[in-house]
A = this chain, B = another copy of it.
Amino acid sequence: MPSPSNPATSPVLKDDLDIVIPTMRDLDFLEKWRPFFQPYHLIIVQDGDPAKKINIPEGFDYVLYNRNDINRILGPKSVSISFRDSSCRCFGYLMSKKKYVYTIDDDCFVASDPSGQKINAVEQHINNLLSPSTPFFFNTLYDPYRDGADFVRGYPFSLREGAPTAVSHGLWLNIPDYDSPTRLVKPHERNTRYVDAVLTVPKGSLFSMSGMNLAFNRELIGPAMYFGSFGEGQSIGRYEDMWAGWCVKVICDHMGYGVKTGLPYVWHSKASNPFANLKNEYQGIYFQEEMIPFFESVRFPKEYTTIEQCYTELSKQVHEKLGKVDPYYAKLADSMATWIEAWVELNPTSI
C-alpha cells in the first residue's frame, strides 16, 4: 500500500470523494479520524428526532441533513428513505455530487495494521477503487495490481486489463459483523486476524456487503446503492446493506464491473444488542432463503447498458417474483422504483 506521505502514489482525490455518515448521536468519533477525514467533505445524515442537536467536532467541512430536510427536498419521494436503521445514509448518496463516496458507521474507529501503523481507510478504499478488478478469473495471489504481486501463471492474458471497480468493501477488526444468532452463540468472539489482502468477488458469486466501512464509485453504481426499506414500521430489519449488496452485485455482474473486498480494516467498537437485533432480523432470516435464489436467478436483457435500466427492471422482478412470497416485497419494490425516480430527479445527468 502506498504510504500517505508519498503524494505521487497517494491519490487523495479530496475534491472527488464525499464521506457519508448516518448517525443519531454526537460525532465524537470524528476526533479519531481527524487526520484522515479532515481533507474531505462530510455528508452527515441524522436519523431519529430532527429536533435533537448533534455535536460535530470543529474543523470539519460538513453538511448535515435531518428528517425535515429529507422530507423538504424529496417531498413525496421521501418515503423511499427509511427511518431508524442505517438506510438514511442513502440520502447522502443522492445529495453527493462527487465521483466517489465513502460511508462509515459512527462506532467504527481507526484500526492498526500488524506493524502498529494506523490504517488510513479512505486512502486504501481509493486505491481499491482506482485500480481494476478481476471478476472473470480468480487470481490466487489476490490483487494482481498491488505492489509485489501480479497475475499468476495460467491467468488469461486477454483478461489482464481487468474491469472497472465499482465497490470497495472494507472489513472490521474487533467486533465482526455477525448476525444476532451467531452473536448470541459467540458473544465474546473478536476478529483479531488481519488478512493482508484485497480481492475481487468473482462474477456470479453473491456476498454479504456490510455498510459499516464501504466505498463506491458513485458514477458507476450510485443509482443501485439503495439500502431499501427495512427500518421503522417494516417487518424486516438489519438487511438494508445486504439487500443493497445483492442488488449491486447482480448489476455489476451484468455491467462488467468489479466488487472488491478485504482491506482496509476499521476498528468496530461495539456490537449492537443481539437480543434487540434478533427481533429485527428473524423475519429476514426466513426471507433470505428466498432472496438468495432470487438474486442468483436475476438476469438483465443484454441491451441494458445503464444502472437505471437495470435497477428499474430489478424492482419489477422483485415485485413479480418475491411479491408472491410476502407482500412486504411489493412495498420494497415500490420503494426501489421511487428511489430511482428520486435519483434521476436529483442527478439528471448521471444516468
Contacts and interface: CB of A to CB of B under 8 A. Distances in A.
Given A152-B208, A169-B140, A195 B197 contact: yes
- Which of A149, A156, A285 has most chain B Cβ within 10 Å? A156
A171 B140 contact: yes
A317 to B, nearest CB: 19
Contacts of A178: 150-153
Given A141-B176, A208-B155, A195 B193 contact: no
A290 to B, nearest CB: 10
A154 to B, nearest CB: 3
Nearest to A202: B205
Interface residues of A, number: 57
Contact of A137 (B154, B179, B206, B261): B206
30 contacts: A114-B114, A137-B205, A137-B206, A140-B169, A140-B207, A140-B208, A140-B210, A140-B261, A141-B191, A148-B189, A148-B190, A148-B192, A150-B176, A150-B189, A152-B176, A152-B177, A153-B178, A153-B182, A153-B208, A153-B238, A154-B179, A154-B209, A154-B210, A156-B288, A156-B289, A157-B289, A158-B289, A194-B196, A202-B204, A204-B205
A272 B194 CA distance: 33
Interface in A110-139: 114, 137-139
A245 interface: yes
Interface in A29-78: none
Query: Lowest 5 CB-CB distances: which A-B pairs, in order?
Result: A154-B208, A154-B242, A138-B207, A202-B205, A153-B179
A201 interface: yes
A270 interface: no
Nearest to A245: B154
Contact of A138 (B151, B155, B186, B201): B201
Nearest to A289: B158
Given A140-B261, A261-B140, A289-B157, A149 B191 contact: yes
A137 to B, nearest CB: 6
